[in-house]
Structure 1
Amino acid sequence: MDFLMSGLAACGACVFTNPLEVVKTRMQLQGELQAPGTYQRHYRNVFHAFITIGKVDGLAALQKGLAPALLYQFLMNGIRLGTYGLAEAGGYLHTAEGTHSPARSAAAGAMAGVMGAYLGSPIYMVKTHLQAQAASEIAVGHQYKHQGMFQALTKIGQKHGLVGLWRGALGGLPRVIVGSSTQLCTFSSTKDLLSQWEIFPPQSWKLALAAAMMSGIAVVLAMAPFDVACTRLYNQPTDAQGKNRVPKFSATSCSASAPLLGTKDVGIMKGQTGHQLFKVTQAPGCSPILLGTQS
């Protein structure tokens, strides 16, 4: 039941946050492997990106990739939060004295996140492709021209097999390890701290909401560089063998170096504002489930 409720809660939040995810994806792909000032900036900031996409691609484009986004959220968070909840219920996240252990929470969050993200990697890759697709005048990154989620999965599977479907999965794991461990550990610590200060009544939904929003901010600050690398890695064009056509990159080195090449230090934080809004907006949808996994 924990797995089901966790997945459904994440899906509910995803319906409202998907437009922010579309904006974030395009801002992260903008200027890929190009030095600042050498490319046209179609999206100057989050709000300008919303207006530009709505004006050129139409308002419906702000919900591009919604189907794979919902499926990914159900798989990822169903497994991640459900597994973390089982670890919490089993007492594995507390010390022998009964106090909460941040280190154990971080480790459990990382392992739970890795399982969910790896299984859902093909869905996340297709989601990225669909959200990057745009009219030629505002297109950024490689354009795959998929017709939908099932068509994309079928096409990639037929052309490159299972290896092609899980392309970029290993390179995306650092993003999930950092993000999931930071979120679940920060949520637990913040909730315990707020409880000690007695700011909200015990077991109040306000307590869970405040802790979830604080953890969302922490997640973005920690995960932004890895998120940029992950988005670009998944969206790279491929050769005949289904491998990324990126010079001198491997799946793991891409996570560390892709955002830096040609974009200088600012590249690693591209789309951070959109990512912040995405995580903070998503918090109310997931906070009831997070509350249910905590003591």
Structure 2
Amino acid sequence: MATSDFVLGGLASVGATLFTNPIEVIKTRIQLQGELAARGSYVEPYRGVLRAFITVAKNDGLRGLQKGLTPALYFQFIINSFRLSIYTKAMNMHWMHDKKGEVSFGLGLVWGAVGGIVGSYFSSPFFMIKTQLQSQAVREIAVGHQHAHTSMSGAFRDIYSTGGIAGLWRGSLAALPRAAVGSGAQIATFGKTKTLLVEYDLVTQPTLNSFCSGLIAGSIMSVAITPPDVISTRMYNQGIDAQGQGLKYKGWLDCCIKILRTEGIYGMYKGFWPNYLRIAPHSTLVLMFFDELLDLREKYQPKLAHSS
């Protein structure tokens, strides 16, 4: 795995996150709204994506739409550094190709899942802190457990002081299915779509090819990732007792069962539209930025090598 691929993958995601973090805030709030309550039995401060934006801006101010931005940038840099560098390595080594030399959707799922799991585990503390900061709101529109963090560094201190290193990785195992499903679907779709668009002479211009492939990959990813994403958000945001155990959920499966029992399938797809509106452009931007950065590296690397 080339170090430059690792860095380029991270930089691509950072650029995209600056644009998509506000919709991530909305998604987190909607996923926590009506937690473990039957549909129609609770107040909904966040009704629809547009009204949710207005609600946050009105009550938390415009800065409220960028809550959790700093840990979100760290999270995205780490997870996509692993995901995209592993994807590039697998593609270059033909680990994602079948015996005919064609890109395999199944192998793409496998390598996408591997990259997602590795990246998700190492970036888990930042995902947890991002979620807890994004859920913070004034009392009138507060949903879910409200943590008293004042910053990312303060959150690290608070969590470490009560749970140690293990506390920083609380909920990390619950995030692995989310990463495996989402990353696998995205990477497999992106690689296969790029090949098919060129093969059938539909979109051959490199940048436009990356854009279209990223948009399709993001759409598929948003459908696949929403249920495990709801579970991850609930697990990471829940309060803990004196022993460091979650107040609502014992684990990933327990969280899934409780949501289905109290909120039904609807509960598993809370926040789908903001998730889609975040993931589709975010995926498109990340994968397009990554391809562009790779092209720049290939363009200037020989010149730098020659000059040295």
Per the TM superposition, whether the score is higher than 0.5 is yes
Structure 1 residues 137-152: aligned runs within 5 Å: 137-152=140-155
Match of 1:173 in 2: 176
CA distances 1:221-279 after superposition (whole Å, capped 9, x unpaired):
11111111110010011001111012xx4323145324324212210110100001101
- Which structure ranks higher in relative contact order (CA pairs < 8 Å, sequence separation ≥ 6)? 1
TM-score normalised by the chain length of structure 2: 0.91
Task: Tell me how far 1:159 sits from its aligned partner.
Answer: 1.2
> What 5-or-longer segments of structure 2 have no aligned partner?
296-308
Match of 1:262 in 2: 262
Distance 2:204 2:108 in 1: 24
Equivalent pairs, count: 291
| Secondary structure, counterpart of 2:47 in structure 1 | coil
Structure 1 residues 278-293: aligned runs within 5 Å: 278-289=278-289, 291=291
Match of 1:129 in 2: 132
Structure (1 or 2) with the greater helix fraction: 2
Distance 2:92 2:39 in 1: 49
Does residue 106 (structure 1) correspond to residue 109 (structure 2)? The answer is yes
Kept after mapping to 2: 8 A contact 1:209/1:283: no
Kept after mapping to 2: 8 A contact 1:213/1:283: yes
Distance 1:268 1:39 in 2: 17
Match of 1:41 among 38, 44, 47: 44
TM-score normalised by the chain length of structure 1: 0.95
Match of 2:212 in 1: 210
Q: Percent identity?
A: 41
Structure 1 outlier segments of 4+, above 6 Å: none
Kept after mapping to 1: 8 A contact 2:12/2:290: no
Match of 2:298 in 1: none
Match of 2:227 in 1: 225
Match of 1:273 in 2: 273
| Secondary structure, counterpart of 1:287 in structure 2 | helix
| Residues 194 and 255 of structure 1, relative CA distance in 2, 3 Å threshold | farther
CA distances 1:195-238 after superposition (whole Å, capped 9, x unpaired):
12212225x20011001001101001111111111100100110
Distance 1:224 1:237 in 2: 22
Task: Tell me how far 1:285 sits from its aligned partner.
Answer: 2.3
Match of 1:82 among 53, 72, 85: 85
In structure 1, what residue type is equivalent to 2:240? T
Match of 2:250 in 1: 250
Kept after mapping to 1: 8 A contact 2:214/2:284: yes
Distance 1:147 1:225 in 2: 29
Instruction: Give the aligned CA root-mean-square deviation in angstroms.
Output: 1.5
Distance 1:177 1:103 in 2: 13
| Residues 288 and 139 of structure 1, relative CA distance in 2, 3 Å threshold | same
Does residue 53 (structure 1) correspond to residue 56 (structure 2)? The answer is yes
